[in-house]
Amino acid sequence: MELEEVEPDRQQIMVSRSFADRVEDHQAIAQALATFAVRACEKLRARGLVTAGIWVFAHSDVFRQELRQHNASRTISLPASTADTTVVLGVVRKL
């Protein structure tokens, strides 16, 4: 197997993390989503790319079946492709 000398064009960029502890505070989740959105925009701009859509998802711990499970996601297509953090943050907050 040969290594690629040039990274191929991406079809998506994802920024995600797991919380160390169970989180039910909506403000903490909103802050994490904002942080992820900022980081995703930084990645877009670093590669000279833009986004035409945003997908936000949240899943509970599938390994803790004794707890109520949560699996939510929202997707939106943008009216104009962008890498503008302000635009992306506004959309993420609405989602």
Could you read off the pLDDT of 16-35 as tens digits, one per residue? Answer: 778 778 888 889 889 989 99
Q: Is residue 83 one of the residues assigned to a domain?
A: yes
- Give the helix/strand (H/E) hosting 41: helix 26-46
Residue 42 lies in a domain: yes
Distance CA 9, CA 5 (A): 13
Tokens 């064009």 -> residue? 9
What local confidence, expressed as pLDDT, does residue 52 receive? 94
Q: Is residue 58 part of a domain?
A: yes
What's 59's DSSP letter?
Answer: E
As for how many domains the chain has, the answer is 1
Tens-place pLDDT, residues 70-85: 888 999 999 999 999 9
Q: For residue 30, what are the domain limits? A: 26-94
In a domain, 11, yes or no: no
